[in-house]
Structure 1
């Protein structure tokens, strides 16, 4: 499939981690409904196919038409299976999950959709939220995920988006697309073309 920089990207600046080559990887992006996770995943799948990978995508659809935000039953998103071979199904458990909030993520955990040692890239804005109930939910969930053996890496998605756009809801999914392109060593020229195509 080519080299993945998942370990390098997760290690942060100055990391001595090396890029590794994997035959296949299953990625999920999960969020509340309407946050653009499916758009990001479809773009990532398409540009990965253009890069020569076998690709299979399947949307994650919440049970309710308009589920309330930050609920485990309201997870919306997409699964992308990448391979160095012809891919014919969505595969089993996810290797990497990008989550816009911890409650949507827990819906996937409860359903058993993640590998035991799955790497989770988690939006961290909830840790400093003005609502103490949300802060408590986030902290409790984060601690449980870590104690259960998941590799949880907090990502300041909204803070980074605010450096570029006034409304992070209009850019967070593209931030995630760029993050995945870096992790999986995608060609940024192809990525830019795919974004232009998606929003033509």
Structure 2
């Protein structure tokens, strides 16, 4: 009878045999290439999230942008929003820098692909040597293309596992946020606070679910799939002024308030809705009111009613919504009624680009009505 076998030794032997039988893939770091736990200092990074709008791509990107603003870093973002009610392919690109950031970046250093179409449509925007982080449950990249570093993570499956299947695949965006936080050594406590603030006022279970998804992403062993982790260099600001992070829609909304506008009406439509949300929240603080109307024509008519009573008012919409307002806009133009109209443009009339790009929005801005 031979010597008794130590179960731990046996497990190591089985593991070693399995390693020999399974060659390393392009997505995994080899034993000799194990990740250095000391983060590499960087000053600038362009991160592009590519998926569908209903996955919360914009929400995850906005968290990164707001975190940069609270961390004495410069940030600039770029996003696309599909002009369909049910959502569709969408991206959010955020550029974070320790120094001055003057653009959202042409090429991405880090691309997150949620779906096969996300990978196919945006791989050309990833710079050579950049990192492709993809959902291995939904994406099959061409690993023979050696220009990039491939990191496959079963994002959908791990999100469902972390949340107990109650939210299906909802929460993937927050899982990815946690993953990015680990890779770039971001301030976890600040991000958790941002998540709590975002969902404040909702049921506590929603906040807890989001934090669970974030923690699951942050806890993922990235050292097994990526040989480097990063951290942004801290360069103290010399001006000593507080930094505010906002997008163009928020800047427009607060600009209206600063300009003395206190009344308005609107109807929700992407990407005008975020302006409407700010005005609905802020106008009452200054003695004003913003009304959500029953439709686009009702919204512009209510705004004209405010103006007719002597109060400069605002309304707004996008693409097809502006077309639906055209009857009342035409009357206002002929009657020379003062009115501020925010046209948060999309590609053309109807939903998207049914035919060719045209100049309908420009014609309306010049002549105040439709083309009849």
CA distance in 1, matches of 2:80, 2:144: 24
Q: Which residue of 1 aligns with 2:96?
A: 82
Shift of residue 148, structure 1, vs aligned partner: 5.0
Contact 1:75–1:107 at 8 Å: present in 2 too?
Answer: no
CA distance in 2, matches of 1:12, 1:175: 25
1:171 partnered with 2:190: no
Shift of residue 78, structure 1, vs aligned partner: 0.2
Relative to structure 1, the CA distance from residue 15 to residue 48 in structure 2 (aligned partners, 3 Å threshold; closer, same or farther) is farther
- Report matched runs for 1:56-75 at 5 Å: 56-62=76-82, 64-65=83-84, 75=89
- For residues 9-42 of structure 1, give each alpha carbon's deviation from its aligned partner in whole angstroms, at most 9, with x where no partner exists: x859993424211110100111023111110011
- Report matched runs for 1:96-175 at 5 Å: 96-109=110-123, 112-126=124-138, 138-139=139-140, 142-143=141-142, 146-165=144-163, 166=165, 167-175=167-175
Contact 1:48–1:186 at 8 Å: present in 2 too?
Answer: no
CA distance in 1, matches of 2:177, 2:60: 5
Contact 2:160–2:169 at 8 Å: present in 1 too?
Answer: no
Q: Which residue of 1 aligns with 2:351?
A: none
**In the alignment, which of 49, 62, 75 is matched to residue 29 of structure 1?**
49
CA distance in 1, matches of 2:85, 2:146: 31
Q: Which residue of 1 aligns with 2:58?
A: 38
Contact 1:57–1:81 at 8 Å: present in 2 too?
Answer: yes
Greater share of strand: 1
Contact 2:128–2:148 at 8 Å: present in 1 too?
Answer: yes
Gaps (5+ residues) in structure 1?
Answer: 1-9, 69-73, 127-137
CA distance in 2, matches of 1:12, 1:41: 31
Contact 2:39–2:185 at 8 Å: present in 1 too?
Answer: no
Shift of residue 95, structure 1, vs aligned partner: 0.2
Relative to structure 1, the CA distance from residue 178 to residue 87 in structure 2 (aligned partners, 3 Å threshold; closer, same or farther) is same
- For residues 126-169 of structure 1, give each alpha carbon's deviation from its aligned partner in whole angstroms, at most 9, with x where no partner exists: 3xxxxxxxxxxx54xx12x5415121111111121122222243
Q: Secondary structure at the match of 1:85?
A: coil
Contact 1:123–1:155 at 8 Å: present in 2 too?
Answer: yes
Contact 2:159–2:171 at 8 Å: present in 1 too?
Answer: yes
Q: Secondary structure at the match of 2:54?
A: coil
1:49 partnered with 2:47: no
Contact 1:27–1:94 at 8 Å: present in 2 too?
Answer: yes
CA distance in 2, matches of 1:174, 1:114: 22
- Considering only CA atoms, is the larger Rg found in Structure 1 or Structure 2? 2
Shift of residue 90, structure 1, vs aligned partner: 0.6
Relative to structure 1, the CA distance from residue 106 to residue 67 in structure 2 (aligned partners, 3 Å threshold; closer, same or farther) is farther
> Structure 1 stretches (4+) deviating beyond 6 angstroms?
none
1:199 partnered with 2:199: yes
CA distance in 2, matches of 1:12, 1:58: 35
Shift of residue 67, structure 1, vs aligned partner: 7.8
Relative to structure 1, the CA distance from residue 104 to residue 84 in structure 2 (aligned partners, 3 Å threshold; closer, same or farther) is same
Contact 2:76–2:95 at 8 Å: present in 1 too?
Answer: yes
Q: Once superposed, what is the RMSD of the aligned Cα atoms?
A: 2.4
Q: Secondary structure at the match of 2:195?
A: helix
Q: Secondary structure at the match of 1:79?
A: strand
How many positions carry a matched residue from both structures? 169
